[in-house]
Each structure stands twice: as structure tokens, then as C-alpha cells.
Structure 1
Amino acid sequence: MTPSEPDSVKTRSILTNLSRLAVYDTGIPNRAAASSEVLVLWPSVLADHRIYDAQVADLREHHRLILIDGPGHGASGPSSGRFSMEQCADALSQVLDTLQIVKPVVVIGTSWGGLVAGEFALKHPGRTRAVVMLNTPVFKTRARWRDSFVSWGARWLKFTNRYVQGVADAYFMPETRKRESAFMEGFRKHIRGVSGAALSRAVRSVLLEREDLASRLNSIAAPTLFVAGTHDSMYPVDDLRHAAAQLTRGRFIELPTAHLSVVDAPSETTQAIDSFLTELQLTSSFSSPGAKA
């Protein structure tokens, strides 16, 4: 989905505690029913809302989707300084206030977005219908040298093919990089096109200064789907499976992907989300701690 898509997607710039955030609203679907949800999607660091194109195409027929570009990414403005994931959760809440959405929402996030989703569920439980955490590094960083380089490179190397290709290699499976040539070109253009200073500030906040979430997952009351990639070289799937077992109403799914499952395995990821949304109508399905798919 792009801002120019002629499918009644409303694009707004909403002022929050972080910055002016670009927000894309698909609106209430024509097929809205009692089972319809409001889905709020926050993407990964170094990416914008377009990583969810496949999910938008399938889910918008039955649900209202709100997509948010993080500060310093996409069409969103830069943050004035470094920020916490809790501040991102507050910004998400402010977006909902501006859009006058009062019903509890399903927060879906990839990597950075998953951290925001978890923090939102902890700080705003009354506004949280459910959580979907995709490829989310819930532990405080264990690779400071690597993440420091990614942050520094976002400021000084983002125009180089080597830096952008290095990010792509870490994020996507080789077959994805070959198959999704148009998407990959847009992905590279996004990194090169945004402000280096703003991008680096956001990357540092997310990769280096994020709070540990793993030790607090058991405090998330909402039903939670946790998806991890078998081939994610940055965040080992076994570590994420162990962390997800702490969720009191959780379900863990492993997909044969690298770090961005929504792009590597779009159909499988969408199916997992859709099944999860269906099961929300039967919340007893999530009564067992660390339930597995």
C-alpha cells in the first residue's frame, strides 16, 4: 500500500509526543461484521508501512487497518531526541485518540513494532484487544558492536550499496531478494531517501537502548501471537520461543523465514494472523500459558 493507492486509504500526519507520524487508514470495511477488528500495524526499524502490503490486501476486506510509520521513517517526521519503546506506545495511543478510536485494538508489530505492541499492551491494557509480535527482539541487545555499527551506518553509510545490501541480507531470505525485485528496490530507496540523522537516532533508540521486554512478557494480559523466523540470523528462534513461553495467553509460531516474515512468507504470516483473529472470538483458546500452534 502506498499513499497514492486509490482504494480510499486515508493518509494523515498526526502530531504525537515523538514527532508527526504518517498514518494510513483503510477505513471501516464494506464487509464489516461483529467479528471485525481495528488492526494497528507498526513496522520494523529501517522499513516503513509497505512491508505489510500483502497483509493489507488480505485483511482490509474484513478489518480496519491503521498503519504507522515510526519517527524518522517513511513519511513521518524526525524525533527531537532518542526515545523509549514506552514513548512509542504513548504515541500509538495518541494516534488512536486523534482518530477517535475507542474500542480496544489489535496491535501488530514487526521487530521494533513488536516491541511497541508489547509496551502498549503493558501500559494501555484497557485499549488492547490482542497483540501480534512478529520477529521481535524482546531481549535487551546482546550484540552491541553489531547494533552500534547499524546505527552509525544509518547516519553515514546509508547511501552505499554495501550498507543497504547488508541490511537486506539480514532481513530477507535469498529467494525473497530475488523474487521481490520491485519491493527490494523500494526498500533500498526508503533507506537512502530518509534523513540519515533521524534514521540513526531511531535505530539507536530501538537497537541499543530498548528496554528488556522478555522479563515482562508474563505481565501482558491480552492474547498474544508470537511469530519467529527459523532463519533469523540476528535473533535465534530458540531464544524467542523460550521467551514467548512466558506469555500467559500466548501462542508461538515458527516460520521458515529470516527477520521479516511478513515479506519472506506473506501468505503464511497472513494466515497465522487471520487464524489468530478468528480465535479471538473464542478467547478460551488462549487460556494456557505459552500455548503452541
Structure 2
Amino acid sequence: MSDTAQHTTMATSVGPLSVRTIGSGPPAVLWHSLFVDDHSWDRVIPALSRHRRLVVICGPGHGTSGDPGRRYDLTACGEAALTVLTELGVREPVDWVGNAWGGHIGVVLAGNGAPQLRSLVNLGGPTQAYTGSGRRKTQLLTAVHRVAGPVGFLRSAVVDTLLSHRTRTTDPEAVSYVDGCLERSGAPLRNAIHSISLDRVDVRPLLGSIRVPTLFVTGAEHVGWTREQARADAALVPGGRCVVVPDAAYLIPLEAPDATVKLVTGFWDELAAA
């Protein structure tokens, strides 16, 4: 296994995307949540890379990836991920592991029958369209960001949503990481918020069409995808399963890395034994 990550930037339909590859073995894709970048996986990469060749994609408008300069959607993000796999020479189906945004993309790919997927782990990716008070709050914060930039109270509001109470009070490294991602944000992040959050469509009609082994995982404090919602969604997927992680909200790989590794590798082991 290679312990050294290989970095590259690839042209895609949603702009130039930063990609890291590390490890060896069957391929797996990691795609992160909105508001943070691919380094939100760093706490789980060492363990997961002992089992898979990881393709870690940084989404448009985040980290060192570019922005297409126009709106895009989850389907376009999925197409971009498949472009990355083609450019890397990945020919076999991949195990898709997505956090929030990445989970949305995985559901769309799997629900549309993409042959490039072997399995799906959706960590905290709601399936319903974004509506109600949460959407109105995000619209307001996005408008503030446009006028004033990533000011302190805005960053705090996002941190309070993305991270559980325990993480916020006992994990200053995680809090600092999320705050830093927000502090460096600009127009590309706002484009991403509109494209894949505010304009997100309901993907629940796709759940019954998923034919790959699927695991849904939500945080106990995830207000956008409660345990009841996640369990109901998993029940719509043939053979789908759901697990709730305590003391986590949206960013499960960052907040609960040990639980994430145990769940993902256990799921992979079951695939190998099937």
C-alpha cells in the first residue's frame, strides 16, 4: 500500500477539481460535505486506506478546487466524479462513501443505475428537498455572506449546525477546521450553496431503484436528516440499512472518526463475504 497521497487537478464539467489518491486495493470514492473540503476526511483516511485505494475528491467551490462560474446540480457532480475515475484509469466499480453533499451524489448515481458503483455509504446526506425554516436561514446567511463576507456570527451559526454539542465543546481542532474553511470562503461557496443545497431536488423517488448494497448513517444531532427520516429512507432501498451515530451532527467522519471507520470497513467486509 502507498502511504503517500498523490495530488492532481482534473478538468470536469463542474470546474477543475482537486483529487487525492492514497492506498491500494479495490477503489473507493470519498466526497465531502458542503462548507468543508476534502480534509474533513483526514481523520479516517489512514485507516480506510489500508482497505481501499481511496479517490478523495474536493468538490467545486471548496478547498483548492475551482468553480464552473455557473449553477450546477447533483447529477453534474456525479458526472464529474465519473470523469475523475475515467481519467485515473479506474475500470472496476467503486465503493462510494459520501458525507452530506457526497451522500446526495451517491444516491443520485446509485438511483440512476450507474454501473460504476459497487456500493453506497451515505453519511448524513438528506434525501428530501431543502425546505422550511432551515432553507430560509441558509438563504439569509448566504445573503449576509454576499454583502459582508464570512463574518464571525455567520461562521458560528454554520458551525453550530454542522457540529454536535459534544464536538463543539470538546474538540477545538474540529471547530477550528470548520471555522477556517468558512473564513476562507467566497463567491464559489455561495454558488455551491445555491447549486446543491438551496436548489436541491427531492431524490427520494430514486431510492427504490437503488440496486447496490447501501448503508445510511446519520448523526443523532443531525437536524436536517433525523434518525426517523434516515430510517424511513433506508426502508425504501432494497436491502438498505440505517445506523445512528451518537454525539454527531452533519460531519460524521470529522466528529466520529472511529465510529465511521468501524461502520464503513465492517460494511465493506460484509460485501467481501457475500
Normalising TM by the smaller chain, what interval?
over 0.9
Q: Which runs of 4+ in 1 moved over 4 A?
A: none
Q: Could you tell me which residue of structure 2 aligns to residue 208 of structure 1?
A: 198
Deviation at 1:153, TM superposition (A): 4.0
Kept in 2: contact 1:154–1:203 (CA 8 A): no
Q: Is the 8 A contact 2:174 2:254 kept in 1?
A: no
Secondary structure, counterpart of 2:244 in structure 1: strand
1:46 and 1:222 map into 2 onto residues whose CA distance is: 28
Shift of 1:190: 1.6
Matches within 5 A, 1:1-293: 7-28=3-24, 36-123=25-112, 125-143=114-132, 144-194=135-185, 196-256=186-246, 257-283=248-274
Measure the CA separation in 1 of the matches of 2:78 and 2:20: 17
TM-score normalised by length of structure 2: 0.93
TM-score (norm 1): 0.87
Shift of 1:62: 2.2
Write the letter of the residue equivalent to 1:173: S
Give aligned-pair identity as a percent.
Answer: 29
Change (3 A) 1:237 1:188: same
Q: Deviations over 1:10-63 (max 9, x none)?
A: 1110000110000011142xxxxxxx4211010000011111112101111221
Closer/same/farther in 2, CA of residues 260 and 158 from structure 1, 3 Å limit: farther
Residue 43 to residue 155, structure 1, CA distance change in 2 (3 Å):
farther
Aligned CA distance change for structure 1 residues 158 and 132 (closer, same or farther; 3 Å)? farther
Residue 146 (structure 1) shift: 2.2
Q: CA RMSD in A?
A: 1.7
One-letter amino acid matched to 2:42: D
Partner Cα distance (1:236, 1:156) in 2: 32
Q: Is the 8 A contact 1:125 1:221 kept in 2?
A: no
- Partner Cα distance (1:201, 1:21) in 2: 15
Superposed CA offset, 1:223-259 (max 9, x none): 1110011211233221221112101131111111212
SS at the partner of 2:35? coil
Moved more, 174-183 or 54-63: 174-183
**Structure 1 stretches of 5 or more lacking a match?**
1-5, 29-35, 284-293
Equivalent position amino acid for 1:202 in 2: A
Offset at residue 79 of structure 1 (A)? 2.0
158-167 or 85-94, which deviates more: 158-167
**Structure 2 unaligned regions, length at least 5:** none
- 2:231 aligned partner, one-letter code: R
Any conservation in 2 of the 1:18–1:88 contact (CA below 8 Å)?
A: yes
* Equivalent AA in structure 1 for residue 168 of structure 2: R
> Could you say if the C-alpha distance between residues 124 and 94 of structure 1 is closer, same or farther in structure 2, counting changes exceeding 3 Å?
farther
User: 1:151 Cα deviation (Å)?
Assistant: 3.2
Q: Secondary structure at the match of 1:245?
A: helix
Aligned-partner SS, 2:236: coil
Q: Are the equivalent residues in 2 in contact too, given 1:48–1:74 (CA < 8 A)?
A: yes
CA contact (8 A) 2:23 2:51 kept: no
- What is the Cα deviation at residue 210 of structure 1? 1.3
Q: Partners in 2 of 1:124 and 1:16 — Cα distance? A: 21
Cα distance change on mapping 1:157 and 1:107 into 2, 3 Å: farther
